[in-house]
Amino acid sequence: MDYMDYQSDQDQNEPQGIRALLKNTRFAGLSMFLIGVLFGWLAIGWGVWPLEWTDASASDLRADLQEDYLRMAVDSFAVNGNITKALDRMEALGEDLQPIFATVEANPGNKGSRAAIQTLQPQIAQGGGIAATTPQPLAPQQIPPDDNTGSLLLVACGITSLLAIILVVVYFFKNRTRRPGKTTVAMRAQEMSRAAQQQRSDNVYADDDPPIAQWITTYLIGDDLFDDSFSIDSGAGEFMGECGVGIADLIGVGDPKRVSAFEVWLFDKNDIQTITKVIMSDHLYQDHNARGRLAAKGEPIQAVTGYEIVLETATLQMVVRIVDMAYGDGAMPERSFFERVTLELAVWSK
């Protein structure tokens, strides 16, 4: 398959899947955000650190509780006769004092409360309470301390929610700015390997016994970490060894890295050594110094499309076939580095 045609097909097929993935990602992110907000609000705000009111003023009570409060102040005055304390307590009702006092006065209750109300009524009628009779400033120790717990909790929840919103927005923005259909070099290489596997003729090894294991791997320029390895198992699932291919040498500097040689290797668990051979570009293979340097890694092999490389150990034989390859262009010697390489690895038991 021509690489440009293959890439064009990929660009046409991928956007719809990517959009669906992003849609699911947004839904998952939004769901996680809402769950976090509800957890912080209900579990933390109401369960772990609930907002509690302490030292509230009598003027903040409900109407029925204010009436009960005033009756208790009247009953206390009926017992101890301390008019200053009684007026001081009633003054805490603020603007609600006179209407509530009128309600209590209409239904005073027992005889003692009735007498106490009659004594207090002139003071209340003056609109004064303690401030109109004997002014007495509230002692410093009687001033309810400010409780900042609620405010601090609200601030903390607000900051947490803001950070969560920022993270969600940044995450969605990054997803939105990605081009639909954009994939990594390694992903494109895997797709090419699958396409090559589908196009491979089943009769490639018709004259031989079928291999016990077979793989196709592809390198594309830009995959600077290219290193594929495979486990070799018998038909019964017994581990027999491993094989693989990786980058052996580079030419020039800068990104992307320009690969000029690959090493293919075969490990046999029943052998004492790993067999390695080096597939070189034309330029590298013609360079005697470079070829001699890489010979320490394994036998040098000049890369040619369709060429088969045989590696043998005590109990295994592997054939590496160069299915497809292309050299890159640029400010480098001609045919010195690979644009792409597709290799087929087939292993037999000896």
Tens-place pLDDT, residues 234-268? 888 899 999 999 999 999 988 899 999 999 999 99
Mean per-residue pLDDT, 12-39? 59
Q: Is the pLDDT of residue 233 over 90?
A: yes
> pTM of the prediction?
0.49
Give the integer Cα–Cα distance in Å for 86 and 40. 45
The model's confidence at residue 140, banded by pLDDT at 50, 70 and 90, is very low
Question: For residue 258, what are its two tokens?
Answer: 């320009």
Say how far residue 88 (Cα) sits from the centre of its chain: 60
Structure tokens at 228: 């594929």
Q: In 3D, which of 177, 78, 85 has the Cα closest to residue 118? A: 78
Q: How many CB atoms lie within 10 A of CB 13?
A: 11
Across the beta sheet with 213-220, what order do the strands follow?
Answer: 213-220, 338-349, 316-327, 308-312
The stretches of 178-216 forming alpha helices (DSSP H) are 185-199
Q: What is the CA angle 302-303-306, rounded to 5?
A: 125
How far apart CA 212 and CA 218 sit, in angstroms, is: 21
d(Cα 287, Cα 326) in Å, to the nearest integer?
Answer: 20
- What phi, psi does 187 have (nearest 5°)? -65, -40
* Mean pLDDT confidence for 72-100: 81
